[in-house]
């Protein structure tokens, strides 16, 4: 994932991040299902989606800690 894409994710607010996380988890579920029945076109997409989920969760946690320190 490029740094410009990560910057875009950092600019999202909490509801957008939650929605993005939900969409990614749904995509991961569908990819795993396709993988199980041997219809997955790009198996590297599994790894990319997992990594993006981790990035989104990390940014959400950073925001949570930052907001806790400000309070």
Average pLDDT of the residues in 9-22: 96
Average pLDDT of the residues in 59-71: 89
- For 18-55, write each residue's pLDDT tens digit: 999 999 999 999 999 999 999 999 999 999 999 999 99
In the chain, the domains with their CATH numbers are 3-70 (1.10.287.310)
- Inter-residue contact 17 to 59 (CB < 8 Å): yes
Residue 70 has pLDDT above 90, yes or no: no
Q: What is the pLDDT of residue 47?
A: 97
Of residues 5 and 71, more confidently modeled: 5
Classify the phi-psi angles of 70: left when phi > 0, otherwise alpha if psi is within -120 to 50, otherwise beta: alpha
Task: Give the helix ranges, DSSP H, for the chain.
Answer: 3-10, 14-36, 44-70
Does the pTM of the predicted model rise above 0.85?
Answer: yes
Pull the structure tokens for residue 10.
């950092």
């Amino acid at each position: 994932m490029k740094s410009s894409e990560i910057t875009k994710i950092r600019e999202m607010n909490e509801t957008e991040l939650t929605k993005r996380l939900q969409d990614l988890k749904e995509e991961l579920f569908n990819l795993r299902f396709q993988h199980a029945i041997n219809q997955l076109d790009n198996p590297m997409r599994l790894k990319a989606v997992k990594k993006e989920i981790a990035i989104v969760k990390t940014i959400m946690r950073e925001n949570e800690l930052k907001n806790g320190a400000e309070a």
